[in-house]
């Protein structure tokens, strides 16, 4: 008997009809003889609704109480789904993250899973029950309820699959797999048959929100094959797995184009160009818990330089305050915040061995009149920061230029 972990996102369980369809599918899987563990998201947009409510009663809600509130969304869907499965004559039992033994650190809103004590789930599985686990949540070592960050139910699912040594983790969502670009903005995007962990990691890190970044990190570390597929058509989707060396060498150099409009850019102007300045600035930002992403420092003229970096938009005000505090110490002129930016990235394992990929990217953007603000690269990715209003056009033109159009 194999063990399958299935994850259902918010749209997949948005209303009673959807819950019934999902329950039918889970019951079918169980009847085929597989052990089944399910991670479920909150129904539809209910997490957004809860955040809106919180903002109506408090000016800056967060931390412990916010996590207490948001985890209620998944508690509703897990119980309803469990009831619907029992209704179909299949024994099922629901668990909160805490009951499922998901232990995290205490970083509310972005907690990291430290350990999964899976004995309770294992017992229920041994009794032949389907286990329904609330996604996106855990309990901290200090015994408070935590959440794993937006999209965190993916992480719950993959972490459970790793802890229980499942044969596969199926991620059911509202698209039929991982596409060469977000199909909502790039109509010519193609569904990929398979993607390597490394490529998927880069895609998730640069805006391909079909999988949460942490979930891909888990999958790669514990070598859990992922199957991303649709809960509407149930057709086979995209496999994310270790592709090793058996990659088809004829494959396209670029696998996918991603975009991310969730960051803002800060620029510190006229910074003295001497050792220790960048260390001071970025240590202060780290101490304040700001997640810095891209960093660019220009060559200095007359011993003054500019340093630009990007942070999540909702951390821009905090980052600005940290830098303003440091201006006197570092002797810089000032700091500006630009919120109208977005990042477009091309990803592909073939980039390692093919020169000229970045050049083609820059030419394509230039031919379309798109100015590049910042550039960053890894061995299998090139990213450019452009104006936010231009980013969808940038995605489509790069998708065409790299021969990805369906
Ligand atoms: P769920 O609620 O099931 O977790 P999400 O909204 O988090 O669903 O993720 C699915 C969405 O991800 C799709 O509706 C799609 O718009 C978006 N998306 C972004 N990039 C991609 C991509 N490369 N391939 C597929 N979907 C993508
Ligand atoms: N409900 C949470 C969110 O909307 C977690 C998830 O859906 O993965 O972010
Ligand atoms: Mg998601």
Integer Cα distance of 173 and 210 in angstroms: 8
Is the residue at 225 inside a domain?
Answer: no
What is the per-residue pLDDT for 251? Answer: 67
Beta partners for residue 307, in sequence order: 268, 297
Domains contained in the chain, number: 1
* DSSP E strand boundaries for 263-379: 263-272, 295-297, 304-312, 334-338, 341-347, 374-378
User: Is 179 touching ligand 1 by the criterion CB < 6 Å?
Assistant: yes
What is the DSSP-derived secondary structure letter of residue 221? H
What is the per-residue pLDDT for 297? Answer: 87
Substitution site in 181, 182, 238, 345 for ligand 1 pocket (most atoms within 8 Å of beta carbon): 182
Note down the domain range covering 50: 3-174
Substitution site in 169, 178, 209, 343 for ligand 1 pocket (most atoms within 8 Å of beta carbon): 209
What is the per-residue pLDDT for 245? Answer: 66
CA of 174 to the centre of ligand 1 (A): 7
Is the residue at 9 inside a domain?
Answer: yes
Sheet holding 194-196, edge to edge: 92-95, 130-134, 35-40, 3-8, 168-173, 226-230, 238-241, 194-196
pLDDT by 10-residue block (mean), the chain, 406 residues: 95 98 98 98 98 96 96 98 98 98 96 97 98 98 97 98 98 98 97 96 95 97 98 97 71 91 96 90 94 87 90 94 94 95 95 90 97 93 97 98 95
Is the residue at 363 inside a domain?
Answer: no
Ion ligand 3: residues, CB within 5 A, are: 9, 151
Is the residue at 317 inside a domain?
Answer: no
User: Is 138 touching ligand 1 by the criterion CB < 6 Å?
Assistant: no
User: Is 283 touching ligand 1 by the criterion CB < 6 Å?
Assistant: no
User: Is 13 touching ligand 1 by the criterion CB < 6 Å?
Assistant: no
Is the residue at 152 inside a domain?
Answer: yes
CA of 150 to the centre of ligand 2 (A): 5
Number of H helices, E strands in the chain: 11, 20
User: Is 209 touching ligand 1 by the criterion CB < 6 Å?
Assistant: yes
Integer Cα distance of 216 and 90 in angstroms: 31
Is the residue at 200 inside a domain?
Answer: no
User: Is 11 touching ligand 1 by the criterion CB < 6 Å?
Assistant: yes
Is the residue at 47 inside a domain?
Answer: yes
**With contact defined as beta carbons under 8 Å apart, do 3 and 125 qualify?**
yes
**CATH number reported for the structural domain that contains residue 13 in this entry:** 3.40.1160.10
Is the residue at 366 inside a domain?
Answer: no
């Amino acid at each position: 008997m194999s063990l399958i972990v299935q994850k259902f996102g918010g749209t997949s369980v948005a209303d009673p009809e959807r819950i019934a369809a999902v329950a039918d599918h889970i019951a079918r899987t169980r009847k085929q003889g597989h052990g089944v563990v399910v991670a479920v998201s909150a129904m539809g947009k209910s997490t957004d609704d809860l955040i809106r409510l919180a903002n109506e009663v408090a000016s800056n809600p967060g931390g412990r109480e916010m996590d207490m509130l948001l985890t209620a969304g998944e508690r509703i869907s897990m119980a309803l789904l469990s009831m619907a499965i029992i209704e179909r004559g299949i024994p099922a039992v629901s668990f909160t993250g805490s009951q499922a033994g998901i232990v995290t650190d205490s970083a509310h809103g972005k907690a990291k899973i430290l350990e999964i004590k899976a004995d309770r789930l294992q017992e229920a599985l041994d009794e032949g029950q389907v286990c329904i686990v609330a996604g996106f949540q855990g309990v901290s070592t200090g015994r408070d309820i935590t959440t794993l960050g937006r999209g965190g139910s993916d992480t719950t699912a993959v972490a459970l699959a790793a802890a229980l040594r499942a044969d596969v983790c199926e991620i059911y969502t509202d698209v039929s797999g991982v596409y060469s670009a977000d199909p909502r903005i790039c109509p010519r995007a193609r569904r990929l048959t398979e993607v390597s962990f490394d490529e998927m990691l880069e895609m998730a890190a640069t805006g391909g929100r079909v999988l949460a970044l942490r979930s891909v990190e888990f999958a790669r570390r514990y070598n859990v094959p992922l199957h991303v597929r649709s809960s509407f058509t149930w057709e086979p989707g995209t496999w994310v797995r270790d592709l090793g060396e058996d990659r088809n060498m004829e494959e396209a150099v670029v696998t996918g184009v991603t975009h991310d409009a969730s960051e803002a850019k800060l620029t510190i102007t006229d910074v003295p160009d001497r050792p220790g300045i960048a260390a001071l600035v970025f240590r202060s930002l780290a101490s304040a818990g700001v997640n810095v992403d891209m960093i660019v420092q220009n060559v200095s003229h007359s011993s003054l330089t500019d340093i630009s970096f990007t942070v999540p938009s909702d951390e821009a005000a905090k980052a600005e305050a940290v830098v303003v505090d440091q201006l006197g110490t570092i002797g810089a002129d000032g700091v500006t915040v630009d919120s109208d930016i977005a990042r477009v990235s091309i990803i592909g394992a073939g980039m390692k061995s093919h020169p000229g990929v970045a050049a083609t990217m820059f030419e394509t953007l230039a031919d379309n009149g798109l100015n590049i603000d910042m550039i960053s690269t890894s061995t299998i990715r090139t990213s450019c920061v452009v104006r936010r209003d231009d980013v969808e056009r940038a995605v489509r033109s790069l998708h065409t230029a790299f021969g990805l159009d369906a």
